Copies of this chain bind each other. A is one copy, B any other.
Amino acid sequence: MSRNFKSDNVTPVCDAIMKAIHAANAGTADSYGADEFTEALTSVAGEIFGTEVAIFPVATGTAANSLALSHCVPPYGAVYCHDAAHIATDECGAPEFFTGGAKMIGLPASDGKIAPQQVADAAALALDLGVHHVKPSAVSLTQATEWGTVYSVAEVSALAAVARRYGLRVHMDGARFANALVHLGCSPAAATWQCGVDVLSLGATKNGALCAEAVVFFDPAQAEDFERRRKRAGHLWSKLRFVSAQWLAYFKDGLWLDNARHANAMAAVLARGLQSLRGAQLLQSVDANEVFVALPESTVIALEASGFGFYRWPGCAAPQAVAIRLVTSYATTLASVQDLVAAAERCA
């Protein structure tokens, strides 16, 4: 029973996806995407999103985000995002590298969700500064957010409306898109292009895949030459069938939604369990599969000593308390959640 709640990327590959990798390993197949799996993926993704899409599998979320932005933003562009967004702080400057030097401009928001007015103000200021400042070019939303919250469809729509007003493209970092989607309870279409998203970085790795991320353009015409960007970044696999096969399995029979629903449910159980402890305080709404909670420092130390894996998180104001992040996944069992809660209760 795993005590590792550090991230959803510590998980193994789920059975259905591992089987799909095996099934794809039969005989020769033309390389660089000229295989039956990759060819099937476009239409399958189109059905999932209810519209024609261009989808490009890659192996990491950093690649998906950075390639997507590089295609939407000029080197002299500005991308507005949350100040804790992965693209701003956790990718070692990858978006700057891929875009040729565009600026990721972080906006503060205590619940992880940037507001339309923040984007409007930042873009208006930039336009005032004219040629001396980078050009407002895109807004990037993380869905689910870095704080485990989820933008409502209305919130995304409102941000997209501001984006249109200022000529910004709308990018969604969907490393945990499935977790957000099952929380929203709407269709993939309603959560993306129907509320104004132009391009989605879609992740499967954290939700059961071995390595499967993708860039999805909801207007295939906007994807022209994107293949060259992927190639020159070293992200066009020769044996691409093995990524595409993961995607096909992920989308099949609702696997992605089932996995995400389980992860979210485990987070909810975990949150309820911890919340009831003396001195505990949930720091964010648990909309997806991440729990941010402040616990007495003694409890945190005891949990660490018991071999539970999680990260201490900055930003906890309460005295003698420590904020931590716990992440659940498709593979988290109810028993392991109960194990952690029980251990916390013992410490408290």
Secondary structure call for the A interface? loop
Is there a chain B Cβ closer than 8 Å to A279's Cβ?
A: no
Chain A, interface size: which category?
35 or more
Contact of A10 among B2, B13, B30, B75 (CB under 8 A): B30
- Is there contact, CB below 8 Å, between A27 and B7? no
CA distance in complex: A211, B212 (Å): 13
Is there a chain B Cβ closer than 8 Å to A301's Cβ?
A: no
CA distance in complex: A99, B234 (Å): 13
Question: A63-102, CB under 8 A of B: which get 1 and which 0?
Answer: 1101100000011100000000000011111101111111
Is there a chain B Cβ closer than 8 Å to A59's Cβ?
A: yes
How close is A236's CB to chain B, nearest CB, in angstroms?
Answer: 7
CA distance in complex: A240, B312 (Å): 23
Is there a chain B Cβ closer than 8 Å to A134's Cβ?
A: yes
CA distance in complex: A4, B32 (Å): 15
CA distance in complex: A2, B26 (Å): 11
Contact of A60 among B97, B100, B234 (CB under 8 A): B234
- Is there contact, CB below 8 Å, between B25 and A9? no
- Is there contact, CB below 8 Å, between B18 and A232? no
Is there a chain B Cβ closer than 8 Å to A132's Cβ?
A: yes
Contact of A131 among B6, B97, B236 (CB under 8 A): B236
CA distance in complex: A98, B75 (Å): 10
Which of A18, A229, A331 gathers most chain B CB within 10 Å?
A229
Is there a chain B Cβ closer than 8 Å to A235's Cβ?
A: yes
Contact of A25 among B12, B101, B132 (CB under 8 A): B12
CA distance in complex: A132, B230 (Å): 10
How close is A138's CB to chain B, nearest CB, in angstroms?
Answer: 14
Chain B residues contacting A236 (CB-CB under 8 Å) are 60, 62, 131
Question: A229-270, CB under 8 A of B: which get 1 and which 0?
Answer: 101111111110010000000000000000000000000000
- Is there contact, CB below 8 Å, between B18 and A31? no
User: Given that A131-B231, A205-B239, A228-B135 are contacting pairs, would A28 and B13 also be in contact in the complex, using a CB cutoff of 8 Å?
Assistant: no
Closest 8 CB pairs of A and B: A63-B234, A96-B101, A9-B238, A62-B234, A92-B232, A4-B28, A10-B28, A92-B231
A contact set with B: CB distance below 8 Å: 2, 4, 6-7, 9-13, 18, 21-22, 25-32, 58-64, 66-67, 74-76, 89-94, 96-103, 129, 131-135, 205-206, 210-211, 225, 227-229, 231-239, 242, 309, 331
- Is there contact, CB below 8 Å, between B60 and A238? yes
How close is A15's CB to chain B, nearest CB, in angstroms?
Answer: 9
User: Given that A7-B31, A28-B2, A30-B6 are contacting pairs, would A233 and B231 also be in contact in the complex, using a CB cutoff of 8 Å?
Assistant: no
Q: What is the chain B residue whose CB lies nearest that of A88? A: B103
Contact of A93 among B59, B89, B205, B232 (CB under 8 A): B232
CA distance in complex: A89, B103 (Å): 10
How close is A125's CB to chain B, nearest CB, in angstroms?
Answer: 8
- Is there contact, CB below 8 Å, between B93 and A103? yes
Chain B residues contacting A2 (CB-CB under 8 Å) are 27-28
Chain B residues contacting A66 (CB-CB under 8 Å) are 234
CA distance in complex: A210, B240 (Å): 9
- Is there contact, CB below 8 Å, between A238 and B205? yes
How close is A339's CB to chain B, nearest CB, in angstroms?
Answer: 14
User: Given that A10-B29, A101-B96 are contacting pairs, would A91 and B132 also be in contact in the complex, using a CB cutoff of 8 Å?
Assistant: yes
How close is A341's CB to chain B, nearest CB, in angstroms?
Answer: 18
